[in-house]
Structure 1
Amino acid sequence: MRKVFCLLIFVSALTVGCDEKRVFDEYQAVQHWHKDSVVTFELEELDSTKVYDLFINVRNNNQYAYSNLFLITEIRFPQGKVISDTLEYEMARPDGKWLGEGFGDIKESKLWYKEDVKFEESGNYKVSIQQAMRKNGDVDGIEELEGITDIGFRIEKNDN
């Protein structure tokens, strides 16, 4: 039993150690993601001379009833500027098979958000993500979105 535990620790350390591009990677649980619930990530000051790629990570299970996902995102700059986007991501193939990686019921999708980003203003940035799902023909959004379990935000170094 002790050997198995040591092996798991070694493999975990190896996996984390090999992730050289990662600058920021954080998740928040969103069980029954309410349409008014905003997931916010606070970013410490980043190197203004480097270029980064930004990703939204989504974990979903089989209770997610849609083939796509609409999100509203915001980046708040330290000096007050705000950039908002409405994004649509494909979550399943036409045959219903989930996109993303993972075992069993949970799939994780690493979704492109922005590439070649420079954080030129000094100070802390905030990234906010909100679900914006609606059923066809409905004006009001889906009150509580089932099947999305976690939302993550990731920043990677862009070495190009």
Structure 2
Amino acid sequence: MKLTVTIDPTTPETEVSVRAPELTAEVRAIQTLAGKGQLRRIVGTRGTDAVVLDLAEILAFSTKDRTVVAHTSRGEWRVKTRIGELAEQLPTAEFVQISQSEIVSLRAISHLDLSATGTISVQLRDGSRYFVARRALKSFRAALGL
């Protein structure tokens, strides 16, 4: 890895740029370190209850009836943030978008079912199952180092 640091007093804010031939574990680690301002907690609602959910307890996000739902071991919680916004704000070393409407926690993956046709089924530790969309296969494999 090659590192270049340029100190320029006229620069309005700190800028980090990473150029790599592919998304590797090293690049993901840099993303995590550079993204210290990323989302760490999110508010979930269920009925009249509202709780602050730590990202460590969230297994997955999905859309259900046009609303985004956070799946945890304590049940499902509605969140106001859209899937696209979550995909941008969540730490890339911990979460990966597997379809247009689903994001899973890499920590929550129990096992994978790799079919001969190239599809991947993801089973989380709570027993729930998700399927990786064909257009998300490349980024999913990169996130896992496959």
Name the TM tier (shorter chain).
Answer: under 0.3
- The structure with higher relative contact order (CA 8 Å, sep 6+) is 1
Structure whose residues are more often helix by fraction: 2
Taking structure 2 as the reference length, what is the TM-score of the superposition? 0.23
Structure whose residues are more often strand by fraction: 1
